[in-house]
Chain A
């Protein structure tokens, strides 16, 4: 069996973000980078399948040279080899273009199962996995929180609105997008980190995969407008209550 897991490198979400000069994305300098959280669930699940079945597992990542660090983490977690689709402009690409790159690479490789995160923490479109599946002609199951493989069938749990869960079956080959709650990603051990250094890391130029034209154009990126902050009322309880009633009367229609 052949497995593919697609990961993305994203900034640490606690970073202080600035909007870049073009005003369509965040400034990528001075940021700390890590693996997209949802992709960690995908890698963990893929590694578990590999461990259970002896399948061959490839990790794919699109981006500039620096994404190799994140790929090494996936390799240290248990992936067999890495495929780096080298692309300095990946952050400017729309979800369809990213999906088309994945499909172009995976098209003739005969993967039985493809894992992705359910969305990225930075762009958050949630579209890449499903579009890659569509381009590859595979069934896709999104936001999975439970996974079981038996023969050529997978049975997965999907998370729906309001805490409702659905159980879905699909026949391989298939693609799944992984959600929080699916598993607890391992952190790589020291020996595995050192072993990962020796694993194969192939590089493919994005241009060689002829990415499709974008369907979407980001026009402008802005921070949310600052809304009025909260007001703290401090002091004697009776007095605070009086002030609260006054504010409710004057500034809201609650007591009107």
Chain B
């Protein structure tokens, strides 16, 4: 078995295509699960979208119960608590498929992801036995309450308080939480509050406790069928045995859960992007203007192609990450009572990758739904067409589970900190790029070379930024943001490239189409990387020094452009012929 790559190591190591997981590697069980989820969603969810988004009383609970009957709520839960404990690829597939449903995806994710995993990973035996079987059946619906009116991105500044009762049997909870998904239907809340005002801790709180109330439903831009409310705690008694993990260790629970949360959000985004493209490809085939279907117009072809290309890159990054998480989990001994915590710790290794895919996939989705509306023309602005819903539902994915800005900061600061701790030999890689620049970097011949160029540019810029700012670099958000962009684009580019290469090597059907999409993605995206590097460097240096640096960037990126227009035409041809996203 290959050794597991360290999180972030792709930035200086070469990744062999055979070592990444791709959707083409699905086994029979994965395919069957995908089929079951597709059937379930078609029969129960897509058929009732209007009622769902009108928040029909009791409907969301009913749908979750139905999903539970098929085992779609217990995929992360061990068998001893009535779950199925499938692999991480299965849960990624479920998250992807569900993603296209918008509101239901949020209810499902709130219940099975962030509302469930804190118990799965950090709960003790009694807590697991008490809550997990009820989550598997949706007998109890779960919600996650972290955000407060005054603390969003700065989650640890929460002001909700927990005070131990005089008899020592309860924590008395006071405070309020806001924007809580599933709040209106939840029976269990995972709540974060500070014991004695300073020990940030997680609690499992019964949703029907005295003193716990919820506010009015928020009127949101999208995801209208998902319940979102404030939750208020007025002297709520929480039994001491409902403290999750340890007092003062709430941040460990919160942050580890967010890693998987981000992975699932990225998978949600891919599912929604695929539906947006399917709808747009079909519409473009059917809609006639000037007596031909608009799918035959060059500018529509470019849109369809670019939508497919970015969806492909996002899908590749998401399943690659799913594969990493899966390998990690299989490498750990999770059999003991501490199994959950060991899992969470293992997942943390790939916190970077989870942030990268979340940012990339949510922004890819944003592009896809926007162009989807454009292809629909005036009809795209009318609520009757699914693309209108997809456009609205997509927006919050760049905001929740850590805004994309917070995630960008996180990506760069994590890399810099791991480098400082020598956990990642990034600075050696920076030196190596510098020495290659003095001996001369050859012209890049293909898309694979351009992935390398992107990594080189990241390392080169990181080196200059570290030289310039030292420890102060962690405060330079604009630079951190650009470094994160280069890193996450390298990740997406490499994921797409390796997937296409793997398909070619295995002689898979559709390998040419995949190669076209990977090439188109890399040759266009590399220009964004160059821009990010140039802008960062212009801020970091001036005069002759800057001239020299820009020459280095030019040397890193010596390549001849491909005919991107022809490439996109070919890709659009495949999409229009299929009438949907294919890879």
Contact = CB atoms under 8 A, between A and B. Distances in A.
A176 to B, nearest CB: 25
Interface in A42-77: 68-69, 72-73, 76
Of A16, A73, A191, A192, most B-chain CB atoms within 10 Å: A191
Contacts of A192: 71
Contact of B32 (A29, A30, A191, A193): A193
Interface string B557-583: 000000000000000000001000000
Interface string A196-223: 1100000000000000000000000000
A35 B443 CA distance: 51
A140 B510 CA distance: 44
B210 interface: no
Nearest to B40: A187
A190 B39 contact: no
B75 interface: yes
B184 to A, nearest CB: 27
Contacts of A196: 29
A187 B33 contact: no
B72 A190 contact: yes
A56 B75 CA distance: 29
Interface string B87-99: 0001000000000
A192 B35 CA distance: 13
A30 B508 CA distance: 9
B28 A72 contact: yes
A11 interface: no
B509 interface: yes
A188 interface: yes
A68 B28 contact: yes
| Residues of A contacting B: mostly | helix
Contacts of A168: none
Given A29-B509, A30-B510, A191 B84 contact: yes
B36 interface: yes
B35 A194 contact: no
A88 B32 CA distance: 23
Nearest to A34: B35
A191 B29 CA distance: 11
B71 A76 contact: no
A253 interface: no
Contact of A194 (B69, B70, B72, B86): B86
B36 A193 contact: yes
B528 interface: no
B509 A190 contact: no
Nearest to B69: A189
Nearest to B72: A190
B509 A30 contact: yes
Interface in B191-231: none
B7 interface: no
B74 A190 contact: yes
A49 to B, nearest CB: 22
Size category of the binding interface on chain B: 20 to 34
B548 interface: no
Interface string B271-304: 0000000000000000000000000000000000
Given A30-B509, A30-B510, A191 B71 contact: yes
A189 B74 CA distance: 11
Interface in A175-191: 187-191
A184 to B, nearest CB: 10
Interface string B20-62: 0000000011011101100110000000000000000000000
B274 to A, nearest CB: 16
B36 A194 contact: no
Contacts of B33: 190, 193
B66 to A, nearest CB: 11
B28 A190 contact: no
A197 B29 contact: yes
A163 to B, nearest CB: 27
B31 A194 contact: no
B28 A187 contact: no
B70 A190 contact: yes
A72 B510 contact: no
A190 B36 contact: yes
Q: Which one of A16, A29, A192, A193 has the highest number of Cβ atoms from chain B below 10 Å of its Cβ?
A: A193
A201 to B, nearest CB: 11
Contacts of A197: 29
A72 B36 CA distance: 13
A194 B71 CA distance: 11
A72 B75 CA distance: 19
Contacts of A191: 71, 74, 84
B36 A188 contact: yes
A15 to B, nearest CB: 10
Contacts of A194: 29, 84, 86
- Tell me which of A69, A76, A190 has the highest count of chain B C-beta atoms within 10 A of its own C-beta: A190
A69 B26 CA distance: 11
Contact of B28 (A16, A29, A69, A189): A69
A193 B39 contact: no
Contacts of B75: 190
Given A187-B35, A187-B36, A187-B40, A193 B69 contact: no
Interface of A: 16, 29-30, 68-69, 72-73, 76, 187-194, 196-197
Please name the 6 residue pairs, one residue from A and one from B, whose CB atoms are nearest each other, closest first: A190-B71, A30-B509, A69-B28, A189-B71, A187-B39, A191-B71
Given A73-B32, A187-B39, 9 more contacts: A16-B577, A76-B32, A187-B35, A189-B69, A190-B74, A190-B90, A193-B36, A194-B29, A196-B29
17 contacts: A30-B509, A69-B28, A72-B32, A73-B35, A187-B35, A187-B70, A188-B32, A188-B36, A189-B69, A189-B70, A190-B71, A190-B86, A191-B74, A191-B84, A193-B29, A193-B32, A194-B29
